[in-house]
C-alpha cells in the first residue's frame, strides 16, 4: 500500500524528464586559483566536446558568490561528466544543477555541490 503524502510540495514526485540540461559552475579565486580553473577548463574542452563552456566571470554575476565560469552540458553527459568532475576538480568548488525551468529550486533543493557548499545570493531569483 502506498502512503498518501500530505505535504503539498511532496505530493507528486518530480519527473527527471523535466530536466532539459545541466550546468556545472566552477568557482575560483582570481588571485589564487584562476590557473587551476583554466587547466580544468582546457581539460573539460578536450574530454567533453559536447559541453558548452561559458565566459569567465571574475566579477560576480547572478546568484554566484565567487568568480566562476559555467559549463552547460546535455542530460546524456551527466553519467560520464559528473564522475569525471569528482575526480578532476583539483580542489575547486563546483555547483552542479539541473535546468527544469525553476531557477530557485534548481540552485537550492535540486543542487549538488562538489568540494563545499557556498551560500548563493538567492535574492536575484525573487520576483520584482
Ligand atoms: Zn546555472
| pLDDT tens figures, 47-66 | 999 999 999 999 999 999 99
Is the pLDDT at 38 greater than 50? The verdict is yes
Q: Position of cell 565566459?
A: 55
Q: 5: CA distance to ligand 1 center in Å?
A: 31
Question: Residue 95 belongs to what domain range?
Answer: 19-123
Residue 116, number of CB atoms within 10 A of its CB: 11
In a domain, 128, yes or no: no
- The percent of residues above 90 in pLDDT, for the chain, comes to 86
Q: 97: CA distance to ligand 1 center in Å?
A: 6
Q: Per-residue pLDDT averaged across 4-20, rounded?
A: 74
Number of domains comprising the chain = 1
In angstroms, the CA 60 to CA 58 distance is 6
The mean pLDDT of the chain is 92
In a domain, 7, yes or no: no
- Strands in 67-74's sheet, in edge-to-edge order, are 52-53, 67-74, 21-28, 94-99, 112-114
CATH code of the domain covering residue 37: 3.30.70.1240
In a domain, 13, yes or no: no
Rg (the chain; Cα; Å): 16
Amino acid at each position: 500500500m502506498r502512503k498518501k503524502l500530505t505535504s503539498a510540495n511532496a505530493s507528486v514526485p518530480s519527473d527527471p524528464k523535466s530536466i532539459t540540461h545541466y550546468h556545472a559552475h566552477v568557482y575560483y579565486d582570481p588571485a589564487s586559483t584562476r590557473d587551476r580553473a583554466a587547466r580544468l577548463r582546457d581539460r573539460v574542452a578536450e574530454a567533453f566536446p559536447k559541453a558548452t563552456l561559458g565566459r569567465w566571470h571574475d566579477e560576480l554575476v547572478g546568484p554566484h558568490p565567487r568568480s566562476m565560469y559555467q559549463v552547460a552540458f546535455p542530460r546524456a553527459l551527466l553519467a560520464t561528466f559528473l564522475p569525471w568532475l569528482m575526480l578532476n576538480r583539483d580542489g575547486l568548488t563546483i555547483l552542479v544543477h539541473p535546468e527544469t525551468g525553476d531557477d530557485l529550486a534548481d540552485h537550492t533543493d535540486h543542487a549538488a555541490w562538489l568540494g563545499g557548499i557556498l551560500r548563493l545570493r538567492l535574492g536575484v531569483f525573487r520576483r520584482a
